[in-house]
């Protein structure tokens, strides 16, 4: 009986099959890599957007928790515990980043420092435990006449970065604080970059300009936060 012919796989066919499988695998791996990179970029964008929203929310909560207290300026007597300068702000608040609204009051010190590698600037805040007027001793070192108005204004020590400072916003082109003063008619209100009145402002505007203005990401912008405290701490804590 004659044996039937059986055709096998040639070496050339095997090499073609292996090459096709390698190309298919390479295409699948490349597609997976592109997809993973796109997912990472999307997650990074979402993280940055959440951080931006968190910064605005934190600033609003900190300023909304402002406490009307006084500080002893020696010499010069008592003054309202509020320092308002173009690139520095200091006050006592019931809200802190460490403990939220359920912790102890903190003396908050906001200031603007140089960014990493000297690129742009960053907004930071120091949180120092507040334990009554005695804990503020040394923050105010007297009074000095304001060069614009001529009235005596509290003289506070400069705010400096600390090892435990929180970075609220980074990679900014510029940051400035502006303060709103309520005035009688017909002016009603005025915005000023330096707060010298011995009372609390009615609002704080924080102007932040990002270095990166691409439309793909959410950026920190100018935020106006009202201060709803109407009590005069100088009258409340007067002797």
What is the mean pLDDT of the segment spanning 99-117? 88
pLDDT, tens digit, 9 for 90 and up, residues 170-201: 888 899 999 999 877 677 788 999 998 888 99
pLDDT beyond 50 at 154? yes
Cα distances (angstroms) measured from residue 167 to each of 87, 91, 146, 170: 15, 18, 30, 7
* 8 A C-beta contact, residue 201 and residue 181: yes
Please provide the distance, in angstroms rounded to a whole number, between the alpha carbons at the two ends of the chain. 126
Question: Scanning the structure block, which residue is given the tokens 């916003």?
Answer: 169
Q: 195: which strand partners? A: 84
Structure-derived torsion over alpha carbons of residues 208, 210, 214, 215, reported in degrees to the nearest 10: -20
What is the mean pLDDT of the segment spanning 53-73? 86
pLDDT of residue 44: 56
Q: Sorting pLDDT into bands at 50, 70 and 90, what band is 159?
A: very high
* 8 A C-beta contact, residue 126 and residue 164: yes
What is the mean pLDDT of the segment spanning 8-26? 79
pLDDT of residue 129: 92
- Higher pLDDT pick, 213 / 102: 102
Cα distances (angstroms) measured from residue 134 to each of 130, 137, 140, 141: 9, 5, 12, 14
Q: 3-state DSSP call for residue 92? A: strand
pLDDT of residue 105: 92
């Amino acid at each position: 009986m004659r044996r039937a012919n059986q055709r096998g796989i040639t070496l050339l066919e095997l090499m073609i099959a292996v090459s096709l499988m390698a190309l298919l695998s390479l295409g699948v791996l490349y597609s997976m890599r592109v997809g993973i990179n796109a997912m990472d970029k999307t997650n990074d964008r979402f993280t940055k957007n959440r951080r931006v929203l968190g910064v605005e929310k934190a600033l609003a909560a900190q300023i909304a928790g402002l406490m009307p207290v006084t500080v002893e300026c020696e010499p010069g007597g008592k003054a309202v515990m509020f320092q308002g300068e173009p690139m520095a702000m200091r006050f006592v608040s019931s809200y802190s980043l460490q403990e939220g609204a359920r912790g102890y009051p903190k003396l908050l010190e906001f200031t603007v420092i140089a960014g990493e590698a000297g690129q742009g600037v960053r907004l930071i805040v120091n949180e120092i435990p507040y334990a009554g007027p005695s804990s503020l001793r040394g923050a105010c070192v007297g009074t000095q006449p304001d060069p614009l108005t001529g009235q005596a204004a509290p003289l506070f020590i400069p705010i400096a970065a600390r090892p435990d400072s929180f970075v609220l916003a980074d990679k900014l082109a510029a940051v400035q604080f502006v303060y709103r003063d309520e005035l009688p008619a017909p002016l009603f209100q005025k915005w000023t970059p330096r707060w010298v009145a011995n009372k609390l402002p009615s609002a704080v505007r924080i102007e932040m300009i990002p270095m990166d203005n691409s439309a793909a990401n959410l950026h920190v912008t100018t935020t106006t936060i009202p201060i709803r405290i109407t009590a005069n701490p100088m009258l409340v804590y007067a002797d």
